[in-house]
Amino acid sequence: MFASCNPTPKEETTDNFNYTDEQFADLQMLRYKVHGFEELTLKQKELVYYLSQAALEGRDILFDQNGKHNLVIRKMLETVYTEYPGDKESKDFKALETYLKRVWFSNGIHHHYGCEKFIPGFSAEFLRNALNSVNAANLPLAEGQTVDQLCEEVFDVIFDPTVMPKRVNQADNEDLLMTSACNYYEGVSQQEAEDFYNAMKDPNDPSPIMYGMNSKLVKENGKLVEKVWKVGGLYSDAIEKIVGWLEKAANVAENDKQKAVIEKLIEFYRDGDLKTFDEYSITWVNDLDSRIDFVNCFTESYGDPLGMKASWESIVNFKDLEATKRTETISANAQWFEDHSPVDKRFKKEKVKGITAKVITAAMLGGDLYPSTAIGINLPNSNWIRSAHGSKSVTIGNLTDAYSQASKGGGLVKEFAYSEEELKLIEQYADITDNLHTDLHECLGHGSGKLLPGVDPDTLKAYGSTIEEARADLFGLYYLADDKLTELGLVPSPDAYKAQYYSYMMNGLMTQLVRINQGNNIEEAHMRNRALIARWVMEKGAGEKVVEMVKKDGKTYVKVNDYQKLRQLFGDLLAEIQRIKSEGDYIAARDIVENYAVKIDPTLHAEILERYKSLNLAPYKGFINPVYTAVTDENGNITDVTIDYTEGYAEQMLRYSSEYANLPYRN
């Protein structure tokens, strides 16, 4: 339990809330504000509190899933970090501190995004001496193990770049299991694992379970065995703690449906049966009326090179009623938008159904959603459940807010925007129009239009996702400038759209390239789509100088001269992209993507990278969680739950490592 001696949180306004925190390596820590928490009822706050505890109890599971030595290494480093008697300002110690922070951030010793192993900036000799200088009782020693034997156990893993170099290896022609450091399989070859699961699958089963999702596959006495993650199985100690909090949560559920969701999840954590998991998913998808919602389970399979084993994650959230009204307004008018879009009538839907994407406020992040997190969630992953029972799609409003607030101080826009005029537009309206663009993209863009009869949805092959994203983005861009949005009360000024138009062009033509190394092409579908749109409209409007690239003091800038013409060009491109999609015109898709979306002008790219470097920004971001404290009366009843945002990153990590240290170091 949290000590109840936490200071009462200061009432902070959005304006002086500290969205940014420390920066190290390629990472920046941010904070998110839980708007509206104070307005929840006491029972709802209590529910959030219990679910938040459950969200933190599984932390060690993810560390162990990401690599079998992670828990041992984390504990070694933490002990040195807190107890080292030597010079804490030395270069070696500072490097160890950075390394440890990266391990915390990645939930292991491999980069959370690139999957490559970290290279320590300190020597093996330094670490060995440091380990020998701290209290051995606080080191993760196995029974009878000496400090030197502990070094023996993990030093190659830490220091030898050829040992476990990648967490997830996707290279062709290699045994993906033998060459990946993730801990989902042990002593099992890729072929063996594939054979094992293929033998289980029935291709005619209309409702297949998520095979292998909640277990580690190992070889015991020459036989393959699944070690299931459940109460009484692998990771039992952590799962029991999670279940304990879920039981408390079930008691304060908002309604019977939600109570049933929580109870099903508890049942699954107890029996480990994937059929129970499917039942849970269906119950969860059908719980639409509760204000509070959560994910707490083995969920995403990106960490398994075979895409079956799911990493543990959690998010606790509640519906943002104000923002959800916005998406509901948009969805309710879906038919109007479809009817008035600039695409050929043959490609329009006669009857269109808008998707109501719920906007939520994150209250706690855990496991694979912490500290690096998604800003939207679409679950469950089971295909048959999605088609038979639907899915929940949410955007996480307060995290998006935090990103955009944090970027304001970063200087990127200041460096790349053409003049004060654009800066002012962006400052005034970008938050609103950014969110609106996302809403239009998600709620209407993807759902608009139709394929002509007989067109195979996969005809566009590798170009399909770029075309699809371009379609949704263009739908949003085109309508952002429409009077309909003013009429619906969604924009504060008829000029607001200019903020999105300018930043979209600036990003598509320039700033998104900061994420690509010199000499490489644009690969990722969303980035290709943005380049495609920005470059196409610039070229088509070149005669009238609708948008141009200009030089000022030796630097390149994007200048938009005619916003209304720019809107027309977005409309023209939307019509063409929809035609390509509807007719399944592969040649046209290939040509437009290859011509506009892939190559980068090396001179411009070098200039952008140089300017970005001078800003000293971190490309990856993660969030520090708030701290909830249950205030109790003399009988132990909760009388209030308070929220505090002042905990530092290292402080939070060390506290989690002591309060939620639920697993043995070696599992």
Q: Which residues bind Zn ion (CB under 5 A)?
A: 472
Q: Give how far the C-alpha of residue 222 lies from the chain's centroid of Cα atoms, to the nearest Å.
A: 39
- Which is closer to Zn ion, CB of 239 or CB of 472? 472
Q: Which is nearer to Zn ion, 169 or 378 (CB)?
A: 378
How far is Cα 454 from Cα 444, in angstroms, rounded to an integer? 24
Contact predicate 96/130, CB 8 Å: yes
Minimum Å gap between C-beta 494 and Zn ion is: 27
State the Cα–Cα distance between residues 649 and 141, nearest whole angstrom: 26
Alpha carbon separation from 104 to 239, 576, 638 (Å, rounded) = 21, 47, 32
From the CB of 525, what's the least distance to Zn ion, in Å?
Answer: 9
Contact 402, 623 (CB under 8 A): yes
Q: In sequence order, which residues have a C-beta less than 8 Å from that of residue 354 and are 6 or more positions away?
A: 330, 331, 332, 333, 334, 443, 444, 447
Between residues 47 and 440, which has the closer beta carbon with respect to Zn ion? 440
What is the separation of C-alpha 329 from the centre of its chain, rounded to a whole number of angstroms?
Answer: 26
Identify which of residues 422 and 473 has a Cβ nearer to Zn ion in the complex. Answer: 473
Least distance to Zn ion, CB of residue 634, Å: 53
What amino acid occupies position 182? Answer: C
One-letter amino acid at 413 equals V
Nearer to Zn ion, 107 or 395 (CB): 395
> Could you tell me which of 522, 507, 438 has the C-alpha nearest to residue 479?
438
CA–CA separation, 43 and 41 (whole Å): 5
Cβ-based neighbours of 551, under 8 Å, separated by 6 or more: 557
Residue 194 C-beta: closest distance to Zn ion, Å? 31
Dihedral in degrees, nearest 10, Cα atoms 136, 137, 142, 147 = 0
Q: How far apart are CB 96 and Zn ion at their closest, in Å?
A: 41
CA distances from 634 to 13, 637, 638 (A): 32, 7, 10
- Shortest Å, Cβ 348 to Zn ion: 19
**Pairing of the two strands 223-228 and 215-220:** antiparallel
Report in angstroms how near the CB of residue 354 gets to Zn ion at its nearest: 15
- We find the least distance from the C-beta atom of residue 618 to Zn ion, in angstroms, to be 25
Rounded to the nearest whole angstrom, what is the least distance from the CB of residue 433 to Zn ion in the complex? 17
Q: Name, in order, each residue with C-beta under 8 angstroms of 519's C-beta and a sequence gap of 6 or more.
A: 602
Instruction: State the Cα–Cα distance between residues 484 and 200, nearest whole angstrom.
Output: 54
Q: How far apart are CA 441 and CA 176, in angstroms?
A: 36
Q: How far is the CB of 122 from Zn ion (least distance, A)?
A: 43
CB of 210 to Zn ion, least distance (A): 24
Nearer to Zn ion, 272 or 476 (CB): 476
Measured from the CB atom, is 441 or 498 closer to Zn ion? 441
Nearest distance, CB of residue 319 and Zn ion, angstroms: 22
For the chain, how many residues are written?
667
Q: Residue with the closest Cβ to Zn ion?
A: 472
Of residues 472 and 513, the one with the C-beta less far from Zn ion: 472
Cα torsion angle, 575, 578, 580, 583, sign: negative
Decide if 602 contacts 518 (C-beta within 8 A): yes
Nearer to Zn ion, 30 or 443 (CB): 443
**Minimum CB–partner distance for residue 426 and Zn ion (Å):** 23
Please compute Rg for the chain using Cα positions.
Answer: 26
Q: Which residue, 74 or 392, has its beta carbon nearer to Zn ion? A: 392
Longest dimension (CA), the chain: 79
Q: How many Cβ atoms sit within 10 Å of the Cβ of residue 454?
A: 6
Nearest to 168 by CA among 186, 180, 150: 180
Looking at beta carbons only, is 258 or 500 nearer to Zn ion? 500
- Measured from the CB atom, the residue of 236 and 378 that comes closer to Zn ion is 378
- Is the Cβ–Cβ distance between 420 and 447 less than 8 Å? no
472/522 with CB nearer Zn ion: 472
Distance between CA atoms of 618 and 608, rounded to whole angstroms?
15
